[in-house]
Amino acid sequence: MASIGRQTVSVSEALIEFIDRHPRLFVLTGAGCSTDSGIPDYRDADGEWKRGRPVMLQDFLANEHARKRYWARSLVGWTRMRGARPNDAHRALARLEYRERIELLVTQNVDGLHQAAGSTRVIDLHGRIDVVRCMDCSRRIPREHLQTELTRRNPAFAALAEARRAKAGPDGDADLEGVAFETFDVPACDVCGGLLKPDVVFFGEGVPGDRVRQSMAALDASDAMLIVGSSLMVYSGYRFAKAMADMGKPIAAVNLGRTRADDVLTLKITNRCADALSFLL
């Protein structure tokens, strides 16, 4: 831990006590959990956008230029995303599951790093960035397969990825400006020629109902909620904190900045996720 001041020690003890007192935890994780794995987050400490808003579903479906721009940036961003490895926050939560303390872990992240760290009771609320789905025939393919095809069709963009000059963004995105997206060649589904989309929930898109129902059932069965690295600015995550608060159950949060649920938290730890949870390792 960065500082060994009296306050830091007592804060850490408060979290240990919270976890000890509530054996069935509903855990909700967000981008702050993965920043130590080199994946940037969307929002600053005040919950505001750090960069441009990500592509909206409606734009992606309706607008060919939006798709070219998305996949061009993704071709470059994926080279970093696929190399990401779990950090101590993921490992600590996997250990907590091993100790049978987790009813369910619901993540807003699409990076699969909880599973890579060994967690199995996981719901990927917003899907997985390492999978691509055809919007027409629903066939799913590994993102890595598409990378081969994107690279083959777009050698100039692949060279940009190679040069690693573009700044990495959240969810396998990368900043690419001043390039001609019009020239980008986007592959279609091999089987039906349909439109390919990463198997993640875009902004402007609803979370599939079965994921919400499973999560709500686990929320009911849990005796407390632990939020790790999420500002809860997106409703899809905030609704769980709200439901928990409505049931009068305690909620603890580890987050570097403010969260949308700050006024209903039982315990708030303002610290990096890996540091705050390191006592579990």
Instruction: Please report, as ranges, the residues that interact with Zn ion according to CB under 5 A.
Output: 134, 136-137, 139, 189, 191-192, 194
Residue 233 CB, nearest approach to Zn ion (Å):
34
Residue 128 CB, nearest approach to Zn ion (Å):
18
Residue 199 CB, nearest approach to Zn ion (Å):
13
Element (H, E) at 132: strand 127-134
* Catalytic one of 22, 90, 114, 126: 126
Burial 200-222 (b: 16+ CB within 10 A, else e): bbbeebebeeebbeebeebbeeb
Residue whose C-alpha is closest to residue 195's, from 29, 57, 33, 4: 57
The residue among 75 and 189 lying less far from Zn ion, judged by its C-beta, is 189
Q: Catalytic: 126?
A: yes
Q: How many CA atoms lie within 13 A of 14 on its CB side?
A: 16
Phi, psi (deg, nearest 5) at residue 13: -65, -35
Q: Residue 142 and residue 157: Cα distance in Å, rounded?
A: 20
User: Interior CA angle at 42 toward 80 and 171, to 5°?
Assistant: 35
List, by residue number, the catalytic residues.
126
